[in-house]
Amino acid sequence: MIRPRVTLKLATSLDGRIATASGESKWITSAEARAEGHKLRSQHDAVLVGIATVLADDPLLTDRTDPPPPKQPLRVVLDSSFRLPPTSRLAQTAQAHPVVVFGAMTPPPPLPHVRSVELDPARVEAVLDYLKQAHAVASVLIEGGGRVAASFLRAGLVDRIEWFRASIVLGAEGAPGIGALLLQALQDAPRFERLAVRPIGPDLWESYGKA
Ligand SMILES: NC(=O)c1ccc[n+]([C@@H]2O[C@H](COP(=O)([O-])OP(=O)(O)OC[C@H]3O[C@@H](n4cnc5c(N)ncnc54)[C@H](OP(=O)(O)O)[C@@H]3O)[C@@H](O)[C@H]2O)c1
């Protein structure tokens, strides 16, 4: 089975941080960069995040391009112990725009209209297979955070990186855009080839494909 194409989107400081130590991340990049981020959502069948991003940012993950798209991307959360709050904007809008949550245990009583799937989200390749088979997903946009980005990179499942970089520096105490890769040697590092670099408002937008 051909797995879904995976794009990793990052919106970081110059030093690759996605939030301050206190978790502040709105907004690191400019309105122009964020508008491109919405266009990326429109180009993918699903948008995927980790539960820590949901708890920190309460994102909607909808494509808010104008005019609105005919179909919104499927919104996907990796959430081992099904902590998605019923009050979250994802859960509150699930009737209009579907949400799928992957957890590693028997799901608690389901949140209305949220699809809870018992499949250990650490098995990222199995998550992709499920999305393909159950929801005909052919492309996935990963929107963070750093730990989820790292797990797809570790598994060699990232086909493309769209990196929006703002001209600020957040330092080592900031949250990393990419979490631990557990590399043993430099030669084990995931490698990408640069496809494009362009200014986007005050930021820089770099695109990479698999080397
Ligand atoms: N600048 C930006 O555009 C941007 C974008 C996104 C996020 N952020 C920021 O990033 C921070 C959150 O990032 P984060 O790295 O701490 O967390 P994250 O990647 O959003 O979520 C990590 C959590 O997801 C769950 N998870 C389930 N399956 C996983 C898997 N296969 N790989 C990794 N995690 C998995 C784990 O919790 P369980 O064990 O409970 O499942 C894990 O602790 C927030 O501060 C947020 O504001 C910024």
Tens digit of each residue's pLDDT (9 = 90 or more) over 134-176: 999 999 999 999 999 999 999 999 999 999 999 999 999 999 9
Report the chain's mean pLDDT, rounded to a whole number.
96
Judged by DSSP in three states, 155 sits in: coil
Which residue type sits at 135?
A: H
Number of folded domains that form the chain: 1
User: Residues 115-119: what's their mean pLDDT?
Assistant: 97
Task: Give the residue carrying structure tokens 């159950």.
Answer: 134
- CA of 122, closest atom in ligand 1: 31
Q: Has residue 85 been placed in a domain?
A: no
Q: Has residue 94 been placed in a domain?
A: no
Q: Has residue 128 been placed in a domain?
A: no
pLDDT at 137: 98
Nearest to 55 by CA among 148, 169, 118, 124: 148
Q: 22 in ligand 1 pocket by Cβ < 6 Å?
A: no
Q: Has residue 115 been placed in a domain?
A: no
| Residue 69: pLDDT over 90 | no
Task: Give the residue carrying structure tokens 């690759």.
Answer: 16
Q: 90 in ligand 1 pocket by Cβ < 6 Å?
A: no
Q: 80 in ligand 1 pocket by Cβ < 6 Å?
A: yes
Residue numbers of the domain that contains 172: 5-79+136-210
Q: Has residue 68 been placed in a domain?
A: yes
Radius of gyration over alpha carbons of the chain, in Å? 16
Q: Has residue 168 been placed in a domain?
A: yes
Number of helical (H) and strand (E) elements in the chain, helices listed first: 5, 11
Q: Has residue 41 been placed in a domain?
A: yes
Q: Has residue 12 been placed in a domain?
A: yes
Q: What is the CATH number of the domain that holds 70?
A: 3.40.430.10
CB 1, CB 151: distance < 8 Å: no
CB 23, CB 167: distance < 8 Å: no
